[in-house]
Amino acid sequence: MMNNEKGFILLLSLSLLSLSSALLIHLLIIYETEKSFIYLEKERNKVDNLLLTTLTHVVNNVDEVMNGDDGTIQFRRGQASYTVELKEEVAKITINAQSQNGTTRVLDVDYHMTLGEILNWSERPR
């Protein structure tokens, strides 16, 4: 009877050791995935901030803008370049934002100058 108990205890110990090792590895993988997600989310927020700040700057100065105007604005967290094409009362604004770490996105906006409204908004990766 003692030999059967020793075999059972060994099997149970090895099973618990394997299960706890698998659980630890799984938790480490989840931790690394969360760290990566947080990094990417911070980068996305930085680029969103660059896009919106540049759009606000261009829209506030749209009356002074000539057709085909372009420029680059340098920020602490990156840079954004813009081009403006005027078609009657609608200004087509394209903004290309890049964070310091290289994350980029492009924003295309149709802005109605007399109404002061954004008619069309589309974002795309570069």
- CA 26, CA 43: separation in Å to the nearest integer? 26
- CA 59, CA 46: separation in Å to the nearest integer? 20
Q: Which residue has the tokens 């200004």?
A: 91
pLDDT of 1 strictly over 60:
no
pLDDT of residue 69: 83
Domain boundaries, the chain: 2-125
* Model confidence band, residue 100 (pLDDT cutoffs 50, 70, 90): very high
How many angstroms separate the first and last alpha carbons of the chain?
A: 71
Q: Which residue has the tokens 């050791």?
A: 17
pLDDT of residue 3: 60
CA 28 to chain centre: 24
Question: Once rounded to an integer, what is the mean pLDDT over residues 86-107?
Answer: 92
- CA 112, CA 41: separation in Å to the nearest integer? 31
In this prediction the pTM is 0.79
